[in-house]
Structure 1
Amino acid sequence: MDPQTEIELQAAAFRRLQKHLMQDRTDVQNIDLMNLAGFCRNCLSRWYQEAAAEQGIEIGKTEAREHFYGMTMDDWKANHQTEASPQKQADFERAFEQNVTRGG
């Protein structure tokens, strides 16, 4: 496979993941994604922001999230986010430390 085709396939897979998380499975909470998989929608928007920076394109955290979510974080939270239990919040703190703070 040539490199351009590989890039196009990777981009298509990413767009499908984005659609799945942003349209098809809005019921899945970010905290549950982080606790189970070690990443969430916010991580994906941060990775998008970091990829842009590697290309010399400056995108702020808020702009990257709005691009990934297709709406503001306030709108996402109002429409899709539910309150997390104390246990989920504690699990999140550990997962965040392992996967974001130390893991990158």
Structure 2
Amino acid sequence: MDRPEPQASGMAGDPAPEGVLLLHGLARRAASLARMEHALRAGGFATLNLDYPSRKAGLGELAGIIGPLAAAFAARTRTLHVVPTRWAGSSPGPGSTEAGRPISDGW
């Protein structure tokens, strides 16, 4: 299996910016976190938003794919923040709300 290329961005100018590792959920792709990635980059964060075979690979294989890329990215950042998605049940879709609030962790 080919390893995904890291899509790190926001690194120019600051030799050690704060970095954010974005991890999509099951059956999703890096594109599903593109809006969040754009907002983070606009805020001055470096980002690493990877595509990985979340439905085809086991946890150990995923760790082998993501781990080295995340470690290399972390080595170039001052602080690394990890943003995993955590949906329970089925997703109500982008921009959905619950009790009038966006369903997110502060985004």
Task: Compare the two structures and name the one with the higher helix fraction.
Answer: 1
The structure that is strand-richer by fraction is: 2
TM-score by length of 1: 0.29
